[in-house]
Amino acid sequence: GNSVTQMEGPVTLSEEAFLTINCTYTATGYPSLFWYVQYPGEGLQLLLKATKADDKGSNKGFEATYRKETTSFHLEKGSVQVSDSAVYFCALSDLYNFNKFYFGSGTKLNVKP
């Protein structure tokens, strides 16, 4: 079946530090992969996505590359800001129902000034 595993948090970094949040997945075939961000008291916002192997999704300085050989989609950012503090979710969409998403458990990021 489909599942997503991401590193447990919280992750605490100082401003301008490098960020990596690991995400691996199990799926039949090659699903589309996503990173969502959730700020306190809010819903989910799409951060970036990749729809096929070797694709790189990027947005607001965040990047993630779809690696089929390692079934991974790690999130990276070169220099984090305090405003990046949030919970980050890795997700994949079902091959047979593209509106059915499987989410990881989330990684909370705390960025200190």
Partner 1 sequence: DAGVTQSPTHLIKTRGQQVTLRCSPISGHKSVSWYQQVLGQGPQFIFQYYEKEERGRGNFPDRFSARQFPNYSSELNVNALLLGDSALYLCASSYLRDKVGYGYTFGSGTRLTVV
**Where along the sequence are the contacts to partner 1 (CB under 8 A)?**
4, 32, 34, 36, 41-46, 49, 51, 89, 91, 93-94, 97-106
Closer residue to partner 1 in complex, CB, 1/113: 1
| For partner 1, the closer CB: 42 or 113 | 42
**DSSP 8-state class, residue 51:** -
Tokens matching residue 1: 């079946």
Adjacent-strand bridge partners of 13: 111
Q: At its nearest, how many Å lie between partner 1 and the CB of residue 40? A: 11
In angstroms, the CA 106 to CA 75 distance is: 12
Coil, strand, or helix at residue 84? helix
Minimum CB separation of residue 26 from partner 1 in Å reads 15
- Coil vs helix vs strand at 83: helix
Report how far Cα 95 is from the mean position of its chain's Cα atoms.
Answer: 19
Nearer to partner 1, 55 or 76 (CB): 55
Taking the complex as a whole, the smallest distance from the CB of residue 31 to partner 1 amounts, in Å, to 9
Closest approach of Cβ 65 to partner 1, in Å?
Answer: 17
